[in-house]
Each structure stands twice: as structure tokens, then as C-alpha cells.
Amino acid sequence: MKLRKFFQSSRFIIKLAIVILALIYLSSCNKAPLIYEKINASDVDDKNQQLTLHNNVIVLNEESLDFLTVDDQKITFSNSVNQTKNIEIGSIVSGSKLDGSEIINVFAKIISLKHEGDKLIAETTVPKLEEFIKEGRIYGEIDLNNESAFNVSSQKAYFVPLGSLTKNSSKYRLNARGANKGHAIQLTPLSFERNFSILSEGSIPPFQNVTANISGGFTPKIAFDISFKEGHVSDFKVNLFLDDLALKATVGVTGKVKGVISPMDFIDIPVLPIVLGSTGLILSPTVSAGPYIEVSAGGRGNFDLAEVYGDANFSLGIRPELKLNLQQKAPTIDTVTGNAELTPGVRIKSGFALFFTAIKISEVGISGKLSVKNSVDVTVGAKREVHLKSIANSDASIYGRIGTSLFNHDFERSIYVGDFTVYDKTTCF
């Protein structure tokens, strides 16, 4: 009897331990990992994209593409070659070729065929995603700027030439000759400079207690990672890199004040659509940002906070992540009395929608800020000491939807990084 009770209690303890471990695991999954380390957009994996396609998919080789012309829903091969002999009704053909400054992109399902001598003429329609892709992964590996945009099927766009595509264990190269290769899509650099002032409250007439100038900028880059399973998007992640990040503020304080200044207008960064090879997939980004400053002071002084520089990486997806690498040059502080907290920063709003032809099939986005709080304390004794400590922090809301209305997963996440010391020094006068 005692032995039975022992085993029963042992089984209960084991079950309880399993439940506790499961709860710990689930709670850890809901928390975004915070990593402080040097990051770079060029660290993105540079292996070929791999997709497993359906048996009726034909990835056109260069020989077939040389004889190809496209006219709306009609495609014509002016000469029959070995590969085109395999095309039949129900086949899906995919391929890209560079014609002058234009990329001709073919992604079509054959619905009728006609032979005129050596010429093959096909009427087509747009295939469904699940008819094309079984499973696999596509991720961005190209460095572009405005000069390397192409006319893709008569529309201005960035073009990402995909690497190897796998079909029945046979590999075909999907080429976009002339497209630059790199590691992340580089967008137009953003720069800003704003002059601010904060008026004191309660005085008539009001007078200025704070004047501030904030300047800086960054180069936004994006890298994407899309996974497919059973013909549908199973995961979608975008990395938003803020490279060459610089933030500088000059502040003059002449009394007790507390306030936040933030311009209502965000600076929009123009981004063209990004065509992902000849897959029917298009990535449509919107990126905007704007500077702001928070001031809380109980003294007077002129603060040249010098420059905070480095980079940041917001990983947007079901499991968001933030990596920061920031440093600060030595500031200049004159005629200081009392104390002050001065926090210049950047607000960010960005969204990334994934389309298959004209249908949105996934999206991720971010709304947040990145800032550096500068705390200045003056101690008057045998010597006057000024202690400056700069702490970087960032908080953001991440949202997204993976898949279409029938196969979708909506999510919202928050990421926060605080108490990341950038500068800490005491100066005696």
C-alpha cells in the first residue's frame, strides 16, 4: 500500500514538473530575445534560395528565354528547343531575362497551345501560389539603390534575381543578367536637421526656456525571409537595418522646464516595389522616420551632446528581436548649474506587405522609437563636478499577418531595450 502511494505521488510530481516546464517554455516564447552585439547587414546568409516546385513547373533556361516574347497573356517562342517541347496545357512556366534596361518576367499557366512551324504560341493565365510552390524558402540577397532599379514588365521596380530553384531534384538557374548582387536591399539614406524650442508654462508672456537643434540620419536596409509549406506562406520575417546611424543634439537651457518636442510630420523614404524573381511575389515596403527630443531641466547650461553613432537591427516577425550597437563621442558642456535630462531620438514607422500578383498574402510592420537619454548632474563642493551618463533605449510595437484570410496567423508583439549605457563620465571644473 505504501509502495502504491509512493508511485502515485511520484507520478503526480512528474506530471506537475512537466506542466511547470511547459509554462516556462511558453512564457519564454512570448518574450522577445534581446541581444547586444555588433551587427551588419552583410551578415545575412548568402546561400541560394531553395524552392521545391510542382512537377508541371518549367523554369525556363537561357536558351528558351532567348526565343521568348511576351504580349500580355500571350507568350511566343520563335523557335522550338528541347525544353519548350515539354510545354503542354497545364504547364506553369517561370523565367526572367534582361532586354536592354527592362527585365521581362514570365510567370504563367498554359491554357492553350498553337504551333506555327517552329514557332510555339501559348495563351496563359496567372497560376495560384499553391500550384507553383510546394515548400521552401526565399530570402533577400541583393544590394540595390535608386540607380539599380529596373523596368520590370513595364513598371519601375527593384528586382531580386533568385538563386537556384529545385524541381524534382534538378536545379535550374534563374538569371537576371546585369542585376547587382549583395546582401541587403539598400534604400535612400535619410538625413534630418530640426530646430526646436520649448516655452515655459504659466508665465505671461511666455518665454523660451529651451532651444535645441537635433540632426542626424541613417541608411535603411531591409532583408526578408519567406518560408512556404504546402503551397502557402508559413513564415514571413523582415529585418530593418538602420545602418550609419547618427544622432546629434545641441541644447540650451535657461530655467526649469519639462517637455517633449516631436514634429507631427514623418519623413517618408521613397521605396519602389521589390519583385522577387519570376515567382509572382512582390514585396511592397513603406519606411518613414522623424526626430524628436525630450527635455527635463532644473538649471541652466549649454549642452553639445556630440554624436551618437552606430547601427540597429529590428527583426520583424512572429519572434521579434532587436540588436543595438551604439557609441557616443565626448560631449561639450558649458556654464552648467543644476541638472537636466536631454533625450534626442528617432521615431520609426514602417510596414512591409507581401503580395502574390495583386493579392496581399502576408505583412509585418513596426511603430516605435530609438533614443539616448543624457542625464547631467552638477555637484558643487571643493570642486564642481559634472556627471554625464547616456543610456540608449528603444521600444516598439510589432504587428503582422502570416498568410491569407483562409490560412492566416495574426500577431502583435512588443520589444523593449533599456539601460544600455553608451557613455558614463564625471568631469571636474
Q: Tens digit of pLDDT for each residue in 15-50?
A: 445 444 444 443 444 333 322 232 333 333 334 457
Average pLDDT over residues 82-107: 88
C-alpha cell at 76: 511566343
- Asked whether the predicted pLDDT for residue 69 surpasses 70, the reply is yes
pLDDT of res. 34:
29
Classify each residue of 350-363 as buried b or exposed e, where b means 16 or more C-beta atoms within 10 Å of its C-beta.
bbbbbbbeeeebbb
| Percent of the chain whose pLDDT exceeds 90 | 18
φ, ψ of residue 144 to 5 degrees: the values are -125, 155
- What is the structure's pLDDT at 353? 94
Round the average pLDDT of the chain to a whole number and report it.
75
Question: What average pLDDT does range 215-223 have in this prediction?
Answer: 88
- For 78, what's the count of Cα atoms within 13 Å in the CB-facing half-sphere? 7
Residue, of 6 and 346, whose pLDDT is higher: 346
User: Which of 103-107, 231-235, 372-376, 383-387 shows the lowest mean pLDDT across its residues?
Assistant: 383-387
- More confident site: 263 or 33: 263
Query: How does pLDDT run across 399-416, given as a tens digit for each residue?
Result: 999 976 566 788 888 887
pLDDT level of residue 127 (50, 70, 90 thresholds):
very high
pLDDT tens digits, 338-389: 677 888 888 899 999 999 988 899 999 999 888 888 887 776 656 667 788 8
Q: Where is average pLDDT lowest: 22-36, 74-88, 312-326, 390-404?
A: 22-36
Cα 123 to Cα 72: distance, rounded to the nearest angstrom: 9
